Chain A
């Protein structure tokens, strides 16, 4: 069980609990605004972009090369960017805070 907090682009804070699956799916299932997950989580659409709270980067780890290739063409990318379809929910993610990125 992991508690995951999303901060929307309107600065609303929403905390959800999940046990498995991707963080993107958890967000989509709970209608977190700004997380669409159009491609269902195969790293093709970049509609699940979040900025991980800097101190939580240790828990999420860094993006893979394929993920970075997607992110580098996003105008709102920064060093804390992840596509949350690539974050698998596990106890290790408990407590992470994710800021939903603005859209281009």
Chain B
């Protein structure tokens, strides 16, 4: 039962000090580790801002590979609200019946395809493809577009396993530029077209702003969804009884989704820039330095979660922060939840068991901490009923 485990490397630091320290490209980060502090930090956008130099609130920092401001992500209130209000209804479309049906069709198809194979590499053969195809629904673009995105591989911003790579990021940025130009020339029903024809505060969105929303949509929902899906497969491989339980008690599926997302915390942390000298956990942080809100640590805070290191499939009170908290909470959460819900239902109905054949873990280096976020690759066999 160890292969699917994601341990909690933050426990000692969380209990002893409440914060961790990480050097990232000579722009250090003070990591907040306790749930209450993380929530308060996320809530307090005046002291801890997102509207810094583009790329700086991401850890590792993307300032050297990105000039475009991601929207609404890197904009603070009050301007944030107009942008968020503009995109919010679009990102709630996953609740619509037609959307659910299409997504169910996609997930049924890819699970069926896996069932008869001797070996499946989950990250690239399953999760990346599932994520890319589902993204065509979120963007309302043709299904075939997914093939282009799948072709980029799992690391859009990185060379294989290496640090941030500007050339690779440019592939995505150039692609988005092309798509925006197409939408300007011949608007359709996709997200690009919606954005290029939209106004915020009486002014048409600029190309740069449209690009900012699109980069956020591509980047925010890629590794995160891939990790959530891959980790779920690994978990169910070691816990066939959980798959059986979801089959027998489909009413717990929603709770199971939240619990898996709590435990996996697909995004380890997100940064903010300190606006004035202040303190976190009685530790001084200077203006223009960085803090991060460590969702992964907060989700294992034993002062809030009973048995935090166990997956309790029907956990009833589960105030996790895997989708962030407050103003900037995850725009793609509705889409992500719908993917996970349909994935669990589909697996429970079609898959009897999963065998893990071999795997290589994906370990994040957080300086003082090392955290497993998922797998570089994991080969499994899906067994049908």
Which of A38, A66, A69, A104 gathers most chain B CB within 10 Å? A38
A8 to B320, CA, bound (A): 28
A66 touches B317 (CB 8 A): yes
A38 touches B255 (CB 8 A): no
A42 touches B39 (CB 8 A): no
A64 to B317, CA, bound (A): 10
A43 to B305, CA, bound (A): 12
A17 to B182, CA, bound (A): 50
Beyond A69-B39, A73-B39, A73-B40, whether A42 also contacts B334 by CB under 8 A is: no
Contact with B along A75-90 (1 / 0, CB 8 A): 0000000000000000
If A39-B258, A44-B320 are given as contacts, then 9 extra A-B residue pairs at C-beta distance below 8 Å, sorted by A number, are A40-B257, A40-B258, A42-B254, A42-B315, A42-B316, A42-B317, A43-B319, A44-B321, A73-B325
| Residues of B in contact with A, size category | 20 to 34
Could you say which of A38, A40, A69, A104 contacts B319, with CB atoms under 8 Å apart?
A69
Q: Is B140 an interface residue (CB 8 A)?
A: no
Could you say which of B36, B318, B334 contacts A44, with CB atoms under 8 Å apart?
B318
Q: Is A7 an interface residue (CB 8 A)?
A: no
Beyond A73-B326, A104-B327, whether A41 also contacts B39 by CB under 8 A is: no
Contact with A along B329-364 (1 / 0, CB 8 A): 100011001000000000000000000000000000
Chain A contact residues: over half helix, strand or loop, or mixed?
Answer: loop
Min Cβ gap B48→A in Å is 13
Q: Is A57 an interface residue (CB 8 A)?
A: no
Interface size on A, residues (CB 8 A): 14
Chain B residues in 8 Å Cβ range of A104: 326-327
Min Cβ gap B212→A in Å is 23
Q: Is B137 an interface residue (CB 8 A)?
A: no
Chain B residue nearest in CB terms to A36: B92
A45 to B319, CA, bound (A): 7
A66 touches B43 (CB 8 A): no
Q: Is A70 an interface residue (CB 8 A)?
A: yes
A44 to B325, CA, bound (A): 9
Min Cβ gap B166→A in Å is 35
B304 touches A66 (CB 8 A): yes
Min Cβ gap A28→B in Å is 9
15 of the cross-chain contacts (CB-CB < 8 Å) are A39-B258, A40-B255, A40-B257, A42-B317, A42-B319, A43-B317, A44-B258, A44-B318, A44-B323, A66-B317, A69-B36, A73-B39, A73-B43, A73-B326, A104-B326
A42 to B257, CA, bound (A): 11
B333 touches A38 (CB 8 A): yes
A45 to B320, CA, bound (A): 9
Min Cβ gap B292→A in Å is 18
